[in-house]
Amino acid sequence: MRKRYYLTTPIYYTNGAPHIGHAYTSIAADVLARFKRLDGYDVFFLTGTDEHGQKVEKTASEAGVEPQTFVDGIAAEFVDMTRRMGCSNDDFIRTTEGRHKAACTALWQRLEAAGELYLGVYEGWYAVRDEAFYGEGELVLGADGVRRAPTGAPVELVREPSWFFRLAAWQDRLLAFYEANPDFIAPAGTRNEIVSFVRGGLTDLSVSRTSFSWGIAVPGEPGHVMYVWLDALTNYITAAGFPDETAPRWAFWPADLHLVGKDIARFHTVYWPAFLMAAGLPLPRRVFANGWWTVQGEKMSKSLGNVVDPRDLVDAFGLDPIRFFLLREVPFGNDGDFSRRALIGRMNTELANDLGNLAQRSLSLIARNCGGKLPGRGEATDDDAGLLAAAEAIPGSVRLQLDRQAFHEALEEVWRVVRAANAYIDRQAPWALRRTDPVRMAAVLRVLADTLRVIATVLQPFMAGSMARMLDQLGVPEEARDLTALASPLAEGISLPPPVGVFPRFVENAA
């Protein structure tokens, strides 16, 4: 049976258009999904939209539109963003769908039957922007003398009837779970924060609201809608078929990986496992919290007018350079800063100069000097063997790095070999061998073609379109582009199509 892998992005709030932060988490997840498929896994990759709650209701009402109409419009934008970022998601869940309401209702009933819920009154602080409850002690005093959430979000005092989830009772079992599963929360900084938050003590969590109605109705409790985070987190099991545990997709649960932004780590590593344990369901294997992007040093905000729409970037620079840049520029888990300059820098050095030139030089020498046919392997010199061994090690080291979501390290493993191959071609100077030793020239070009084949195969998850073109030019058949296919050498003498540059230099238009 094939190994299974289930991974998710957060589901994005439908209160505004997608921006580069959303694209970032989605692209990261897509790279992992594609790599796992290449590595022989049966993958289920889920993304979607989080459409209920006070924030969305408020935004819709400010726009003077019915919430459902409003979210239909924004969800369509997220579907479009997902497609244009090249995501290969297997499903796109919307929390306003019937299947999701059914799953939330079933989960609620399980929690209630287990005695995990009780009716009370919530009195305390709520930040609509974060859709989060805050304790008095968590609030911070702004320079303006106004109390805010630790995230800077405005808070309001709420008093309303509410159902509660017995979160406090799960504190020790959560701590024991973290202890027994040291890889559950990553990176380490987030793990430490969460562990100390839980050690600090948990209070029962309000899981229904009565002051607005845009949510999933609490079964048997008119006037209550489910707290948007209980609703939202449930999406991960809805899409796996819950509550039908005989659904084929249920075999994917528990998820192998939830990718989330660092802002929402707490919901995924405290509330979510507690809900699941309380409902008697298996827990996800890992939650990785990625960092935040700023734009030229500033937080993205509508009021600053610096929100970067990833679709505009793709139109201007192409999809693959954007995907590459976002994952190459910043260690996953750290915050990053987006600037056109940094993007163009990476495009021109690492893509155009390092990889693009390597491919173009090697392939055009084959086209010119080997009649456009792939040369056979010669007797390997130490230099040849060294480069080939480095290339053959790439899939294993990339697998290792991607299993810890270290995208930039995975790319560095590849670029180490790209640079080694450039040094090799300069040392071997196949252009000079043409006259002196054509047999050796052919052997050198074959070493380069084999090295490029590994590089292009492994980079497919990052840059599918460009790497497909590179593999076409290397004569790699479409059915021989996964990791296992690398074990079978390409046949000598196959005709290669004329080489065309894959990564042109980007020249900023002066006009």
Closer residue to ligand ME8, CB minimum distance, 13 or 253 = 13
Task: Examine residue 21 and tell whether it contacts ligand ME8 (CB under 6 A).
Answer: yes
Task: Examine residue 232 and tell whether it contacts ligand ME8 (CB under 6 A).
Answer: yes
Q: How many residues bind ligand ME8 (CB under 6 A)?
A: 20
- Interacting residues of 257 by C-beta distance below 8 A, sequence separation 6+: 5, 6, 7, 8, 32, 284, 285, 286, 287, 288, 405
Distance between terminal CA atoms of the chain?
58
**Among 215, 261, 310, 499, contact with ligand ME8 (rule: CB under 6 A):** 261
Letters for 283-312 (x = contact with ligand ME8 by CB under 6 A, - = none) are -------x-xx------x------------
Distance set, CA 296 to CA 293, 304, 307, 338, 341 (Å): 9, 12, 11, 6, 10
Which region among 169-177, 229-237, 319-327, 468-476 touches ligand ME8 (by CB under 6 A)?
A: 229-237
3-state secondary structure at position 46: strand
Task: Examine residue 153 and tell whether it contacts ligand ME8 (CB under 6 A).
Answer: no
Cα separation, 506 vs 347, whole angstroms:
7
CB of 126 to ligand ME8, least distance (A): 15
Residue type, 443: A
Closer residue to ligand ME8, CB minimum distance, 158 or 300 = 300
Which region among 8-16, 151-159, 351-359, 502-510 touches ligand ME8 (by CB under 6 A)?
A: 8-16
**Beta bridge mates, 165:** 117, 205
Closer residue to ligand ME8, CB minimum distance, 105 or 473 = 105
Other C-beta atoms lying within 10 Å of the C-beta of residue 307:
16
Closer residue to ligand ME8, CB minimum distance, 93 or 117 = 93
Task: Examine residue 274 and tell whether it contacts ligand ME8 (CB under 6 A).
Answer: no
Which region among 134-142, 227-235, 249-257, 373-381 touches ligand ME8 (by CB under 6 A)?
A: 227-235
Residue 341 has which token pair?
């300059």
Using an 8 Å Cβ cutoff, are 55 and 65 in contact? no
Task: Examine residue 6 and tell whether it contacts ligand ME8 (CB under 6 A).
Answer: no
Other C-beta atoms lying within 10 Å of the C-beta of residue 138:
14
Q: Between 438-459 and 357-369, two packed helices, what is the crossing angle to 10 degrees?
A: 140
Closer residue to ligand ME8, CB minimum distance, 85 or 483 = 85
Closer residue to ligand ME8, CB minimum distance, 22 or 110 = 22
Cα separation, 211 vs 225, whole angstroms:
9
Closer residue to ligand ME8, CB minimum distance, 12 or 170 = 12
Q: For binding to ligand ME8 (CB under 6 A), which residues are involved?
A: 10-13, 21-22, 24-25, 50, 232-233, 235, 260-261, 263-264, 290, 292-293, 300
